[in-house]
Amino acid sequence: MTTANKITILRMLLIPVFLVLAYLEKTWWALGVYIVACITDTVDGYIARHCNQVTNFGKFMDPLADKMLVLAAMIFFVEKGWMPGWTVAVVLLREFAVSGLRMIAVEQQRVIAAAWSGKIKTTVTMVGLGVILVFGEIAVLRWIVIGLILLTTVYSGAEYFIKNKDVFRDMK
């Protein structure tokens, strides 16, 4: 098991720790764990690329771990009444759609790399959820963050499909 993959697994293990602390209303501790989990996303990718540790496990689990962290936080916020459930649905539907697009591309021996808009979406979402964790009681700020998350989510999802529309043309 590579160092990069161990860091990805660490991110996944931090999710229940984050949730327990959030539910216990240990906001600052939860934020600390959340930040560490978010930072591992950058660290594992850096190590994988720069230390020649890119693996199929990492290619699959790294984005999955990101989605697990983000969705866990969002569902917590829905339960707190800080985020409407349809926001989670939009994010989840985008993730399923892009994953489906990638699966179709793999069948054609193509790889759809992460786009910059997807990286921006991930950053905006992760930072935004940290802001909501701390300032969730402030409705205006919460709605600004939700708006930014939705905007980057929809834009990046649309970009994946527009840039890779030929995948559908090449379907058998």
High-pLDDT (> 70) share of the chain, %: 98
Name the token pair of 9. 């697994």
pLDDT grade, residue 103 (50/70/90)?
Answer: confident
Distances (CA, A) of 169 to 16, 104, 158, 166: 42, 11, 17, 5
**Residue spans per domain, the chain:** 3-169
Q: Which CATH superfamily is domain 3-169 in?
A: CDP-alcohol phosphotransferase transmembrane (TM) domain (1.20.120.1760)
pLDDT grade, residue 74 (50/70/90)?
Answer: very high
How confident is the prediction for the chain on average, in pLDDT? 93
Q: List pLDDT tens digits, range 110-141.
A: 877 778 998 899 999 999 999 999 999 999 99
> Span 62-67, mean pLDDT?
90
Name the token pair of 164. 């890779």
Name the token pair of 62. 């790294």
Name the token pair of 69. 């962290």
